[in-house]
């Protein structure tokens, strides 16, 4: 029989890596069905009222029901507000976010020895420890002393080294539960970039003037801040910020500089262009070898302003695919940081570099797929593999097999025995499963980071093993 303590511990563990829901608050006794929720917008004199339903949804005035507080707030106001900071219990009760924090603090304080048998104790300890760390991070942010760390160190807290879809969604959920946001967005910059754990801005919150530049967010960052109860953060893919090397340094000249100064900077740094900046945020244009050549057609005695050409700039979290056509035409774009500073440049050569990094593992995976299909086609009849594949008798061709099907066949003891390889079936299957995971990361394009050399080497070695034993 499961005790109430076990249920509480199970709930606290399951909240790890997923967003808190209204139903969680009800189950914890922090919110009751039938209670009224109020969203007041004093600046424009609006008050919206809603009711908590038995199944953990929010019913607004027109009868529509929402599982997401933010969607409910957006429906009544059209503002894209984070609903956890908009709705409060009654006219003067706690905000939903306050109830959420109370739930998380309760989860982090659970120390009863009666553990649920189906959850690893070490996993519980890690989850509870992370709850406490994030709670402390929120306290620091609210006290005006926000924690700073690199993206790489942030990932380590979740036991990860790469930003794949699963890790990103887990981090987003845990941060959102604590009302935290990374500035800049941790998925849109390099792994060694320093980020700040800051509190999510509340609705219509006025910021001090000295914090305005720092808090200014790109459209995507605002979307993340106001969607803290969405189950999936969505895809972001490669961004301009991802393409900037962690050790990049922007070299620039001022509008009052001489053309010789600009040329010297380009020569000494082996650049094809240099930005002209009047202050960190004011991009006047760029000097390029081409613009110098064009200006000199009008005469040899030219100044920096004669060779100045317009230049494009984009926020750091702009998706690479959205500016590929501009890069092909202009050959470079400048990148603005979260606080609007011009802090980097992305060139067409950078695009070639990143796609080269992606292409090598992509081609290797294609070869692995071909070798596995050839191996199975040469050793088995289609009727031999149908019983162990997910599609069963609907699988009519070896060409329709997936990586999961290859894994199922080669993990099957009868099929493995028929191969006659002097290798351990279980160990081989574990390695093939790792190849499957690498394949998913590459082909789903859900990882903004380059595939690490260790994974590339694993692909190469796997190909060597198959080609060595399949003779």
Which H/E stretch holds residue 421?
none
Cα–Cα distance for residue pair 276/273, rounded to 1 Å: 10
According to the model, what pLDDT value does residue 211 have?
Answer: 41
Contact between 424 and 413 (Cβ < 8 Å): no
Confidence of residue 216 (pLDDT cuts 50, 70, 90): very low
Confidence of residue 372 (pLDDT cuts 50, 70, 90): very high
Q: Is the pLDDT of residue 34 over 60?
A: yes
* Burial call 266-285: b when 16+ CB within 10 Å, e when fewer: beeeebbbbbbbeebeebbb
The per-residue DSSP string of 356-397 comes to HHHHHHHHHHHHHHHHHHHHHHHH--HHHHGGGSTTGGG---
Sign of CA pseudo-dihedral 77, 83, 85, 91:
positive
Cα–Cα distance for residue pair 437/445, rounded to 1 Å: 12
Contact between 342 and 283 (Cβ < 8 Å): yes
Confidence of residue 286 (pLDDT cuts 50, 70, 90): very high
Q: pTM of this prediction?
A: 0.74
- Mean pLDDT, residues 322-327: 93
According to the model, what pLDDT value does residue 308 have?
Answer: 96
Cα–Cα distance for residue pair 348/31, rounded to 1 Å: 54
State the chain's mean pLDDT as an integer: 85
- Mean pLDDT, residues 307-314: 96
Of 388, 291, 389, residue with least CA distance to 332 = 291
- Mean pLDDT, residues 87-113: 84
Which tops the pLDDT comparison, 161 or 124? 161
Taking only the tens place, the pLDDT of each residue in 8-20 is 444 445 577 788 9
Q: Is the pLDDT of residue 206 over 90?
A: no
Q: Is 195 helix (H, G, I), strand (E, B) or coil?
A: strand
Whether a cis peptide bond, with omega within 30° of 0, leads into 99 is: no
**Alpha helix stretches (DSSP H) within 49-120:** 69-77, 83-86, 96-108
Confidence of residue 445 (pLDDT cuts 50, 70, 90): low
Cα–Cα distance for residue pair 374/357, rounded to 1 Å: 27
Specify the range with the lowest mean pLDDT, choosing from 52-66, 317-331, 355-369, 444-458. 444-458
Which tops the pLDDT comparison, 430 or 129? 430
According to the model, what pLDDT value does residue 106 have?
Answer: 81
Confidence of residue 340 (pLDDT cuts 50, 70, 90): very high
Q: Is the pLDDT of residue 62 over 50?
A: yes
Taking only the tens place, the pLDDT of each residue in 386-410 is 999 988 888 889 999 999 999 999 9
Q: Is the pLDDT of residue 313 over 90?
A: yes
* Burial call 102-117: b when 16+ CB within 10 Å, e when fewer: ebbeebbebeeeeebe
Q: Is the pLDDT of residue 351 over 80?
A: yes
pLDDT above 90 covers a percentage of the chain that reads: 61
Cα–Cα distance for residue pair 49/87, rounded to 1 Å: 9
According to the model, what pLDDT value does residue 225 have?
Answer: 45
Query: What's the N-to-C CA distance of the chain in angstroms?
Result: 56
Q: Is the pLDDT of residue 333 over 70?
A: yes
Taking only the tens place, the pLDDT of each residue in 420-441 is 899 999 999 999 999 998 888 7
Taking only the tens place, the pLDDT of each residue in 78-98 is 887 889 999 999 999 999 999
Place of tokens 């908009």: 86
Sign of CA pseudo-dihedral 161, 163, 167, 172:
positive
Confidence of residue 217 (pLDDT cuts 50, 70, 90): very low
- Mean pLDDT, residues 196-220: 55
Domains of the chain: 4-108 (no CATH), 121-225 (no CATH), 243-340 (3.10.580.10), 351-469 (no CATH)
According to the model, what pLDDT value does residue 355 have?
Answer: 80
According to the model, what pLDDT value does residue 58 have?
Answer: 96
């Amino acid at each position: 029989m499961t005790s109430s303590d076990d249920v509480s511990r199970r709930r606290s563990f399951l909240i790890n890596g997923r967003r808190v829901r209204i139903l969680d608050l009800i189950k914890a006794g922090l919110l009751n069905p039938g209670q009224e929720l109020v969203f007041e917008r004093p600046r424009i004199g609006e008050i919206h009222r809603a009711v908590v339903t038995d199944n953990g949804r929010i019913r607004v005035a027109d009868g529509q029901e929402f599982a997401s507080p933010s969607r409910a707030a957006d429906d009544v106001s059209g503002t894209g507000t984070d609903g956890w900071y908009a709705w409060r219990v009654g006219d003067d009760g706690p905000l939903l976010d306050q109830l959420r924090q109370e739930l998380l603090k309760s989860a982090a304080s659970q120390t009863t020895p009666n553990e649920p048998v189906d959850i690893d104790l070490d996993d519980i300890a890690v989850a509870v420890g992370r709850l406490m760390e994030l709670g402390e991070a929120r306290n620091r942010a609210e006290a005006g002393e926000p924690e700073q760390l690199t993206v790489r160190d942030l990932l380590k807290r979740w036991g990860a080294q790469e930003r794949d879809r699963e890790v990103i969604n887990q981090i987003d959920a845990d941060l959102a539960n604590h009302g935290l946001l990374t500035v800049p967005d941790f998925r849109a910059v390099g792994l060694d970039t320093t980020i700040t754990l800051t509190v999510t801005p509340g609705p219509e919150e006025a910021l001090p003037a000295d914090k305005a530049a720092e808090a200014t967010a790109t459209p995507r960052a605002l979307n993340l801040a106001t969607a803290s109860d969405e189950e999936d953060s969505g895809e972001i893919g490669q961004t301009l910020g991802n393409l900037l090397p962690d050790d990049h340094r922007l070299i620039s000249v001022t509008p009052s500089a001489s053309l010789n100064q600009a040329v010297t900077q380009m020569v000494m740094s082996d650049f094809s262009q240099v930005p002209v900046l009047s202050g960190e945020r004011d991009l006047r244009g760029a000097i390029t070898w081409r613009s110098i050549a064009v200006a000199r057609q009008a005469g040899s005695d030219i100044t920096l302003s004669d060779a100045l050409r317009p230049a494009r700039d984009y926020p750091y979290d702009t998706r690479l695919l959205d500016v590929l056509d501009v890069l092909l035409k202009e050959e470079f774009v400048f990148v603005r940081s979260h606080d609007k500073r011009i802090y980097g440049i992305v060139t067409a050569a950078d695009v070639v570099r990143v796609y080269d990094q992606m292409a090598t593992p992509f081609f290797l995976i294609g070869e692995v797929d071909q070798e596995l299909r050839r191996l199975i086609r040469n050793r088995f009849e289609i009727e031999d593999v149908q019983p162990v594949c997910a599609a069963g008798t609907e699988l009519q061709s070896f060409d329709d097999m997936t990586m999961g099907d290859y894994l199922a066949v080669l993990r099957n003891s009868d099929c493995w025995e028929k191969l006659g390889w002097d290798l351990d079936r279980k160990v081989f299957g574990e390695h093939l499963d790792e190849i499957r995971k690498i394949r998913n990361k590459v082909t789903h394009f859900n990882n903004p980071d380059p595939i690490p050399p260790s994974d590339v080497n694993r692909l190469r070695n796997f190909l060597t093993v198959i080609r060595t034993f399949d003779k």
